[in-house]
A = this chain, B = another copy of it.
Amino acid sequence: MPAAKPRTMPGVLELLPLDQVAFQGMLDTIRRNFERYGFLPVETPAMEFTDVLLTKSGGETERQVYFVQSTGSLEQGERPELALRFDLTVPLARYVAEHERELSFPFRRYQIQRVYRGERAQRGRFREFYQCDIDVIGKDHLSVRYDAELPAVIHSVFRELAIGPFTIQLNNRKLIRGCFEGLGIADPARQMAVLREVDKLDKRGAGAVRDTLTGTDYGIEPATVERIMRFVETRSRSHAQALEQLAALDSGSELQRQGVAELREVLTLVRAFGVPETAYALNLSIARGLDYYTGTVYETTLDDHPQVGSICSGGRYENLAGQYTSSHLPGVGISIGATRLYWQLREAGLIRTADSTVQALVTQMDEAELPRYLELATMLRNAGIATEVQLEPRKLARQFQYADRAGIRFVLVLGSDEIAKGTVTVKDLRKQDQYEVRREELAKALRVEIEQAVVMGAGTR
């Protein structure tokens, strides 16, 4: 009698094998591009001490933390000492502060791991999900040039993921804050509140935001709101236009002019990094919710699927790890929420189930010839072709059916005819094609077919 119903908790995305292949392919692409741009891997434990994890956060984040206790600690009614990480930024801060003397700066790290949030169960909200982060951390100082490198990485990742045209939207918090100060909104808390409203522009629409800002909560003069709106509605359609729009804003406070100068340098270098101008734009409404961004901020959206929202966000911060060290560690980073991205792309029909990682199945015609089948498989595996062998006797039709259902492309038949001739019959289930090749040429023939599929973007590698 089964003792428990097999089930997973709500809010996790557990995938069937071929979907996992597709998802893993996405993570591999992200990792490959992070490495290509010279970022180094870091992994941190899923659990951190609660006093380390919760120094800064409060409110919403703390409410969503998962606490961890061993059996003994639980039985003794102790307060939990451990909790699961809710992002990769706090662990990064702890890592850099803890290992500061052993790291080279600027420290360029990537981290691809799962994070945990006790979210209310809701469609599209995950309690466990992958984040794929890169950050560059400076010691005392970090040039704004690094702010231009991250869009180049973002472009490289999403170009290779091939999920359609996308735009990396750029802004700078100094520019927004400078502009607001110029309009008489000088109090930082009030600036943040207006920023939060403005951040909703693309979601709620201009009318709703305008009403809120002139309403009783904010009570800003309609004329001032108009100027705020004109500012935040600024979007560039080309590199030249972005520079013109910035030139028009190059006045006012020191802060505003500094924001303009930084954005100009970033835009100029983004182009020098080889990012095509169709892939990036100024968007002066981008503010990012988090308080700790201080300069450049990024969001990335799919041109044909705006409803998906930002698929990669981040920005520049002044001091990564003030809660752990007195060293001054400025940085810039971005994050891709891979689980949510995968889920949304699948919902939008932009990704399909991948072909299997298994590329070839060696069928079994005659049990007595099993050693030959195994030898053939070994030959293919040594040539780097992922190969499964039919080990149990089964009707040939069922072996083909299995390969088809499992998404295996090449089915190999080694019957008495083929053995006599020194050949193998290849059935290509994708091309619906069949041919015979000499045994010693088989691996090469399959490699050619597999490489072609990669070039055409149809294969898993």
Q: Give the interface of A toward B (CB within 8 A).
A: 1-9, 12, 14-18, 20-21, 24, 35-38, 40-49, 51-52, 55-56, 62-72, 74, 80, 82, 84, 93-95, 97-99, 102-104, 106, 108-109, 114, 116, 118, 128, 142-143, 145-146, 149, 152, 156, 269, 272-274, 321-326, 356-358, 361, 370-371, 374-375, 378, 381, 384-389, 391-392, 402, 405-406
Contacts and interface: CB of A to CB of B under 8 A. Distances in A.
B45 A322 contact: no
B47 A9 contact: yes
B36 A6 contact: no
6 contacts: A4-B51, A6-B52, A14-B43, A17-B109, A66-B82, A146-B391
Contacts of A116: 46-47
Given A52-B7, A392-B145, A20 B2 contact: no
A453 B18 CA distance: 34
A40 B358 contact: yes
Considering residues A5, A152, A387, which has the most beta carbons from chain B within 10 angstroms of its beta carbon? A5
A347 B227 CA distance: 65
Contacts of A1: 326
Contacts of A370: 145, 269, 272
Given A65-B70, A67-B68, A358-B38, A143 B17 contact: no
Given A4-B323, A37-B387, A149-B391, 4 more contacts: A4-B55, A65-B70, A66-B69, A67-B68
Contacts of A405: 104
A42 B116 CA distance: 19
A4 B44 contact: no
Nearest to A384: B36
Given A40-B357, A104-B402, A273-B374, A6 B321 contact: yes
State the oligomeric state as a number of copies. Answer: 2
A397 to B, nearest CB: 15
B4 A386 contact: no
Q: State the majority secondary structure of interface residues on A.
A: mixed
A240 B175 CA distance: 79
Contacts of A64: 70-71
A95 to B, nearest CB: 7
A6 B324 contact: yes
Contacts of A56: 3
Nearest to A119: B70
A392 to B, nearest CB: 5
Contact of A35 (B4, B35, B357): B357
Contact of A80 (B69, B97, B156): B69
A2 B104 contact: no
A421 to B, nearest CB: 22
B36 A324 contact: no
B325 A2 contact: yes
Contacts of A6: 52, 93-95, 97-98, 321, 324-325
A36 B386 contact: yes
B378 A273 contact: yes
Contacts of A143: 391-392
A40 B145 CA distance: 42
Contacts of A386: 35-38
A374 B358 CA distance: 39
A210 B381 CA distance: 45
A8 to B, nearest CB: 6
A45 B12 contact: yes
Nearest to A405: B104
A194 to B, nearest CB: 29
B8 A45 contact: yes
Contacts of A146: 391
Contacts of A145: 370, 391-392
Given A49-B9, A145-B391, A374 B71 contact: no
A163 B369 CA distance: 34
B45 A20 contact: no
Contact of A16 (B69, B102, B106, B149): B102
A42 B67 contact: no
B62 A41 contact: no
Contacts of A371: 272
Considering residues A35, A62, A142, A273, which has the most beta carbons from chain B within 10 angstroms of its beta carbon? A35
A157 to B, nearest CB: 12
Given A52-B6, A370-B272, A14 B44 contact: yes
